[in-house]
Structure formats: structure tokens, C-alpha cells
Structure 1
């Protein structure tokens, strides 16, 4: 949690939660103070497993631009209708390089028992892979695409928003007609573990990529592995920033 990351969290939180376009419309209404208050209304009343997932998704939103800066967020972090976890796809992104669409799935977990950090990363990526694939095959629900289209309207503007919405509708139509969609997948694993016991091996990412490619579920893939000794530190930093902002 460097000072750079803390600053990015404060500067970008409203855009993560509500979409960059919507947040820019009224900076006072979508201020850091009001946004973080809304976040904790959601976060503080959830069970530990849900909190872990919420924190994991937040850290992915925060860190993704550092290594994938060509991916432009087309999604919202907060549920738009109620104080609950977000429905639909965890992530959707527009690729600035070619205008294409990426779907993302985030899975978070703690290393337990005799597991290593690599074990947990492999487990979480496997679950993300299967879960995202099911959304396009055995567990297809139109509401996911409807939610993603609304997200794109709040996160993007002009031709970018129109293009992403067209791609989302086209993917659903393809699946609804019984054909397979060509899905570009961003699979994310957020692993919590004591660093003095084990760390994710540098070669694990490539091994996981090779495994996912061999199963042929996706047209293209990217994998993001994040390891953190205590993911709650992110939440503590956010809460401290909120208290400081309120005091000011």
C-alpha cells in the first residue's frame, strides 16, 4: 500500500464505483466522502466471505491500470439498484488497442491449512475460469448483459460507449441463437497469505495461462495474480482516508 496507491484509491474511487462519465458529471455529488460512505454502508454489513470478495474486486480495479493500461473500464463497482453485491459480470473492459471487449472474473481467497500461495492461486483461477465460461454456456442470463450495457453508459462516452454496447448485445445474440461467443477473458486471483510462509512463484502465471489455453474455453486470455499479506489493509487505509476527509 504505497502512497501512490493510496492516492490513486482516493482519486479514482468514485469512477470505480459509479463510472467515470457519471462521476465527472457532478464531482460534488460523487465526492470521495459520499462515495466511501456508500461503500462502507455496503461493506460493513456483509459476512466475512462477502467482504473478502468486495475487497478483492476493489484491489483489482485499483491495480489493473498499472499492468494493463490499454484496458479501459466499462463497468461499475457498486450495485446500482440496492445496497448489495454487484450483479452480472465482475468486470468488463474496452481494449484501447483494437476496440474489442474483455470480460473479467475475480476470485479472492485466503491460504489455509497445508496450502501454498500457488495452490490458492491455481484454485481461484480455476474457479474464475469455470464461472466465467458458465455465464456463456450453461448459466446464461440476459440480465448480466443488460447490467453491463448500463455500466458502459456510465463508464464510457461517445463512440467508445456505443461500440461496447454493440459488442455486448452482439455476444448475447450469438449465444441466444445457440452459437458460441468468442470471449476474451481476464481471470483474476487475489490471494491472501503470510509472505514469510510462501509466495506465488514467478512462473505460476504462465503455467496457469497454458492450462487455460489448453482447455480452449476462451478466444484470448489474460491472467492477473495479486498477493497480499492482509487484504483488510486496503479497507483500513480507505476507512482512515474517509475519517481524515470527514475531519477536514
Structure 2
């Protein structure tokens, strides 16, 4: 669980330091081209963001926040998929994030669901977001749809720095899952998953630990996936994050 109580200088610095890696992936972010530097990446993000409807904007900021928290707080994982979809000015299709855990040599498929609370409590809203992430990923991982895995492989190829020794291992794992989809033998229980709720709601109305614990325990008792990690994120509003990105982009 992670609650962003203040839009601190530390958070701003983290976004500045990692935005190119988050948006383009580690390999492209390491290139010397101006188009992969912070200013150009920020402009590209804002061009994508500013033209979208509110629901998509909330999803984009939720995914951005998930990238930042995972990079900074979950040291055992490498993010091996970029935020940007290279084919069009949109967020990534298929799986929201793909993570790699070197200790186990396993891939983790990540689904992020973002939203506000509305008239619900923070706990009720978080439970609903996590349930939607669970159900969407359960369906997608069992589909006879190879495009999800094509996208994941292409993302990993562009994202993982060539110096990383695990690149071929990751591509092989993703390829095997793609084969299962093609053969119509894909099942959700073959996959490690991370379910993320990104709630934008008053930080004084915090999500209670027992809410996330209850959701996780139910999922463990009736397993759908191979292994699951549940991550609850909460930020007061999306306005300060949006204002920061707008100001940084000079818009």
C-alpha cells in the first residue's frame, strides 16, 4: 500500500529522473537522441494526454504513478515495458506493465485500474478497482489472442537494455505464452500477476489495510493466477500531478 499525501519535491525529482525510461523503456532512454530526452518525452506525453477524454487521462496518470512507485519501491522487479505505445499517440495496448523478477527468472503481468471514489468510500472504491483489474486480466490471459503477447514481446525488445543478460529469457517466456494463446491452451493460472488500484481521492480518507488484505486473502483462497501481488495506490487528486506535467511541458 502506498498513499501519496503530498506532491513533494522528491516525487517531482523522481518523475524528472525517470520519465524517459518510463515512457520509452530503458534501452531507448539510454540513447543519445534528443527525442528520447526529458524535454521531448514530456512534450510527447502532454501531446498524448491533452487530447484524451477524462477517463483516459485518469488511466494515463494512474499508470504513470504505478510506474514511478514500482521503480522506486519494488526493487526486486525491473519494468520491461514502456508507457508509450509506439504505433500511435496512446497508452500501451494489451498489458499495462510487464515486470521481470531476476531472482525467480519470472515475468509478472500487471494491470492498473484508476479512478476516483465518487460517492463511495476510499475502501469501497479501491475494492472495486482491484476487482476490475482481477477480472479484466483473468479474461485477457485466457484469451486465444496472440496480439497481447506480440505487443508484450515488442515492448520488451524496445525496453530492455541490450546489456541486460536476461533479455532473451524474457522474450522466450513471453513467446511461450503467446504460443499457448495461439494453440488456445492459455489459462490465467499460468501467470504471475500484479493487480494495481490507483485511487485519486482525498488523502485524509485513506484506504484501510484490512480492505486490501481482505481482497488479497479471498484471491489466495480461490486462486485464479499462479502468484499474485496486490498494490493499492492512493493520491489526493490528479490535479497537482497534471499541473506539474503541464508546467514542465511549458503548456
Where do residues 98-247 of structure 1 align in structure 2 (5 Å cutoff)? 98-113=104-119, 115-137=120-142, 139-156=143-160, 157=162, 158-177=164-183, 178=185, 180=187, 182-196=190-204, 198-243=205-250
C-alpha contact 2:146 2:181 (8 A) present in aligned 1:
no
Q: Deviations over 1:39-77 (max 9, x none)?
A: 111100111001000010000001113331111011010
Q: Which runs of 5+ in 2 are unaligned?
A: 1-6
Say which SS state the counterpart of residue 46 (structure 1) adopts: coil
Could you tell me how far 1:234 is from its partner in structure 2? 1.4
- Provide the C-alpha distance between the structure 1 equivalents of 2:246 and 2:42, rounded to a whole number of angstroms: 8
Deviations 1:83-141 (A, max 9, x none): 1232110010110222210000000011112x11010110000000010110122x442
Q: TM-score scaled to structure 2, two decimals?
A: 0.91
Give the alignment of 1:21-100 within 5 angstroms: 21-100=27-106
Return the TM-score normalized by structure 1. 0.92
Please, which runs of 5 or more residues in structure 1 have no aligned partner?
A: none
Q: Structure 1's 209 and 31: CA in aligned 2 closer, same or farther, altered over 3 A?
A: same
1:233 positional shift: 1.6
Q: How many residues align?
A: 241
